Structure 1
Amino acid sequence: MNNEVSPLVSIITPSYNQGSFIKETIESVLTQDYSNIEYIVIDGGSKDGTLEILNSYQNSDPRFNFVSEPDRGQSHAINKGLKMAKGKIIGWLNSDDTYLPNAIKKAVESLKEDPNWGMVYGKAYATDKKNKALYPYPVEPFNKNRLFERCIICQPAAFIRKEVFEEVGGVDESFFFCMDYELWMRIAKKHEIGYIKAYLANSRCHDSSKTTLYWKNVGIKECMIASLKNYGKISNMMICDFVNLNYEKGVEWIAQEIKQFEIFEASPKITKMSIYNDSWSRNFLDISVEVNPTKPLYALLMKGKDIQSNKKQLMIYLNGKLIENYTIVDQTSIVLIPSVIDNCSIKVIKNSAVDSIEKQLNNHPSNLKDCVFSVDNIIPLSEQEYEFIQILYKKFDFVRKWLKENRKLNLIDTDS
């Protein structure tokens, strides 16, 4: 590549019903001062006038080509474009973003200067619906540890060697939101990533953009999934973002969601629970808990609804032994359990009939709808999870400090 003065650059744009933005996107590519480009638009079958715009450019500029047909979304469209691309360098520009003047030339020059870089990225602006700059996009010089904590790369300002793009397997089509961030993770594990201080692109923010619509309910969870996939762990910063975005949903909801990501490693899990499909339980509840000896069972977080308001006594049995007579204070309760390092059985009994607890233990009610309380959720907690829950109940402001002090993570790359 060092011997090539102007290597071919392929720009790929996934498109679907972005007719109000795509002309500006196309112009930002075709008016670059770097002429050796091919521009491929992969359209998902737009119905908003996009095709008329695409046809006009295909008829007027030999560097431009497009395909319009139903596809499986943005990630699939990028991979389709990658297969069509003939260039040695790939640019990925969404149909509402734009390049700044000289962007492609600056990226090519930087890749020529450092052949060890598998990709390069620069600075960018976040812009409004009319593409007016709002503020510098939060881009940072490349660092593997910072990439683990958050996405420090602005996708339209990134350019990737095609051989690198293909080597890592293209875009992972299982991701709807953070497919770019997940791609950077995979590239960073095998190749050096370069950074230049020049502004290369605009990332447009508007009411129908993915970031606006899906960051809270989809995006942050996908980032956590991507981190687990590539690093086997999730950063404290990402956990704080997740908690902050969802704090109004309640501590119990956050506790249940976070548990699936094992942020405190192999914590206790429920493997079986005798509960009806509508969440109602008979007057006793059988629970089987899988326990890793390194993370003993420490407490149960229980959320439910007691329909016999004058009978609020729960009896907790661990492996057949009574450990707690518990008075329900509100719908959410946390019951401490003597530290258990082995798989165990727990019975939660609603003491609505004081006459014979043993009878309740040994005899199922004859009427399958003889239910006395509703169980929205029961979450087994390790001691560290329990402490984290207590912090969540206090105030979000304490979460970041507590995680920093109590959840130590090995750095991804101590040399960077």
Structure 2
Amino acid sequence: MEGSGGFVDRRLADYVSLITDSLASQDGSAFAAALAINATNSYAETVSSCLDHTKDPARILKQVDKHAPLGEMLLHHTRAMQCYHQNRYVDAYNSLEKSANAFLQEYRNWESTWAMEALHVIVYALRTVGEMADREMAMNGKAPDKLKGAGSFLMKVFGAIQGKGPKRVGALYVTCQLFKIYFKLGTVHMCRSVIRSIDTSRFFDFEDFPAKDRVTYMYYTGRLEVFNDNVSAADRKLTYALERCDPFKKANIRMILKYLVPVRLALGVLPKESLLTKYNLSEYIDVVRALKRGDVRLLRRALKANENNFFRSGVYLVLEKLESHVYRRLLRKMCIQYPKAAGSWPRPPSQDGGDPKSYEVARGGHGHGRGGMLHGNSDPQGTDERLLFAQEPSGGAEQAGPLPEARWATTTVTATAKVRIY
């Protein structure tokens, strides 16, 4: 038994030596790997097992005291590892927060960014363990508050690194973790302050941040624009995220397309069904078919069938406004079927290549005013549709009479339309 205890002490001493060596050599990768708290980290499993069998872990951990306050930090951090592997997530979070406080206190004094990776590991652990702790508290009939506490601590971290200096390069990662917490808690309004700090920075160009952080940032800010019904800004940000996303990360591409597809539909761009099938976005297939056919009933049925999913995603209101697009498609089909009746309708200005089979409709939402659709002579099957939109006057009221031809803008949309990124 004594020999077993000595072996355990040596393994724990080896872990402490790894920490002290990485601190002395400023090896950020080794330091970060030693601090990771997850189910696959071999260091965490070893430390947890050692703490279960040693009588006085504090005696060994005190070897790090010369790097104070990291000796205190390591004591709490190893305790968090032990609680995590025992599935005691509330206790793990409490110890982890104490460890993170001690680490941040020391990190403020370091001029270089060598420990940035370790900081990110701690930030990630706070969020993920906080979520687990909240689930444990909810199961025990207590009000969850650990994830909210993690958000408050991450704001302290953000404040420590978002100022002028090389450490600012890590601010976007912390921002993205904050976004994940705020979206999880349903407090997305709290994103505004950190967005303002990033967007108005004079010390760092956005393109200087790591690509994966830029993609995540644009994904979440694009979702915020969807919630605010600003489809043009949402399209720009989500497109940025999609174009720079790792093409082998299918799950990440699906997450982006889940919001980009309804945004593009609102702008009059229809994806192929093969794209929706490939990324398991079947909930949009009937919506696209309804837009192509002018089938209002099919659109309403699709919205009803996926109502809960669309509401949870925050895209229901965007999709609901597509009904006016479907009506315009339906009217266009009527125009082709009954051309004499169409000749008596008001028309938008004449366009090159078009025929008089046109009509003028009101298009609501997204900052657009009056509009119409023009059918080209070259394609009687109806695959060449031109949506003509006129901007409202600056005062917001629609002017009487026809709008000058110069005020019209043409967007071509076809039944097989595709965007470059699609």
Q: TM-score, normalised by structure 2?
A: 0.30
Q: Which has the higher strand share?
A: 1
Q: Which structure's residues are more often helix, by fraction?
A: 2
- Structure number with the bigger relative contact order (C-alpha 8 A, sep ≥ 6) is 1
